[in-house]
Amino acid sequence: MLVKERMTSHPICGHPDMPVTEAHIIIHSPPHRRATVLGIYYFASRGGIGLSTLVVGILADSYGFAAIFTASGAIMLGIAIICALVLLRNRR
């Protein structure tokens, strides 16, 4: 077995935050939506990384790394603002 396969299959070395995140999702999701929410989480944390790496590589070849970093920063800022607004609305 390769070292990488051994490390990623172990919860402490691979993704130590996954059990905490999964527990949070299970606690805060309605029972009829848990499978959907967990499916989205797993796709975003595992499948999304592989897909985004491919897309970012192609775009970096076309537009350069500066444009990709600027676009990534703008997207992350937008997501952070949306999350903050949702959390503030739920707090009231």
Q: Block means of pLDDT (10 residues each) for the chain, length 92 residues?
A: 45 63 87 90 79 86 92 92 89 73
Q: Residue 3 has what pLDDT?
A: 42
Give the per-residue pLDDT at 14. Answer: 54
pLDDT at residue 64, rounded to an integer: 92
| Cα gap 22→89, rounded to integer Å | 23
3-state SS, residue 13:
coil
Domain ranges of the chain: 3-91
Query: Residue 68 burial (CB < 10 Å; 0-12/13-18/19+)?
Result: middle
pLDDT of residue 16: 62
Give the per-residue pLDDT at 1: 41
| 25: number of Cβ within 10 Å | 15
